A and B are shown apart, each in its own frame.
Chain A
Amino acid sequence: ELQLVESGGGLVQPGGSLRLSCAASGFTFSSFAMSWVRQAPGEGLEWVASIRSPGDKTYYADSVKGRFTLSRDNSKNTLTLQMNSLGADDTATYYCAKANTGYYVDHWGLGTVVTVSS
């Protein structure tokens, strides 16, 4: 069974950093692009970042570019989102997402909650 399990969320002060991880299982991780999608409380879905299957290219939303870094370890089936300079607008549930050929999401993790507050 395909599983995406996020970890690393929590409460962080404005300007702080967090590292989110996603452990993938049940599919050939190295063959698929991966993404993070977030959802602020009571709001809609917002794409955050994506990474190609080999890990050689990343894409970021303008709202996080320069602050977030997406990486992957295909030997460990792990996706990592390093988030720096966090602000209140980054408060959201962050979903790890398996992307398909066109970078649409065909499987979602359960999400991890990030709260940025003093």
Chain B
Amino acid sequence: EIVMTQSPVTLSVSPGERVTLSCGASQSVSSNLAWYQQKPGQVPRFLIYGASTRATGIPARFIGSGSGTEFTLTISSLQSEDFAIYYCQQYDSWPLTFGGGTTVEI
């Protein structure tokens, strides 16, 4: 099983700041990496696939990068609506696995 590790667990930031979230895989997943956003009490929202391709309707401030075992989600200028938990998920091999999440808070 590929273990996905996200860091930091919690990130305290202010609106307008640039934010960088990390996701590491215990073995290479190529570019088979997706990101999701989840706000309290809400359903997860699909953000990025293929490590760097934004889903339809996702703002350009969300930037995914990386390949192999190291991945990054950058929010170029944090908006108030971006405070949430962010999860990465590898879909390179079975079983599919999610990271534990990074909480972006004020």
A50, B96: Cβ atoms closer than 8 Å: yes
CB contact list, A89-103 vs B, under 8 A:
95, 100, 102-103
A108, B95: Cβ atoms closer than 8 Å: no
| Bound Cα distance A95, B36 (Å) | 14
- The winner among A60, A100, A102 for most chain B CB atoms within 10 A is A102
- Chain A proximity mask over B31-60: 1 for CB below 8 Å, otherwise 0: 010101010000111100110000100000
| Bound Cα distance A7, B94 (Å) | 27
Number of A-B contacts (CB under 8 A): 61
For B36, what are the chain A residues with a Cβ–Cβ distance below 8 Å?
Answer: 45, 105
A107, B46: Cβ atoms closer than 8 Å: yes
A108, B87: Cβ atoms closer than 8 Å: no
- Chain B proximity mask over A3-46: 1 for CB below 8 Å, otherwise 0: 00000000000000000000000000000000101000000111
A105, B95: Cβ atoms closer than 8 Å: no
Interface size on B, residues (CB 8 A): 24
For B55, what are the chain A residues with a Cβ–Cβ distance below 8 Å?
Answer: 106
For A105, what are the chain B residues with a Cβ–Cβ distance below 8 Å?
Answer: 34, 36, 44, 46, 89
B98, A108: Cβ atoms closer than 8 Å: no
B97 CB–A CB distance under 8 Å: yes
B44, A45: Cβ atoms closer than 8 Å: yes
In whole Å, how far is B106's beta carbon from the nearest beta carbon of chain A?
20
For A107, what are the chain B residues with a Cβ–Cβ distance below 8 Å?
Answer: 46
In whole Å, how far is A32's beta carbon from the nearest beta carbon of chain B?
14
A59, B101: Cβ atoms closer than 8 Å: no
In whole Å, how far is A47's beta carbon from the nearest beta carbon of chain B?
4
| Known contacts A95-B43, A102-B32, A104-B89; A46/B98 CB under 8 A | yes
In whole Å, how far is B12's beta carbon from the nearest beta carbon of chain A?
19
A106, B46: Cβ atoms closer than 8 Å: yes
| Known contacts A62-B95, A102-B91; A108/B44 CB under 8 A | yes
B66 CB–A CB distance under 8 Å: no
Subset of 11 A-B contacts with CB under 8 Å: A44-B98, A44-B100, A45-B38, A59-B95, A59-B96, A102-B32, A102-B50, A104-B32, A104-B34, A104-B49, A105-B89
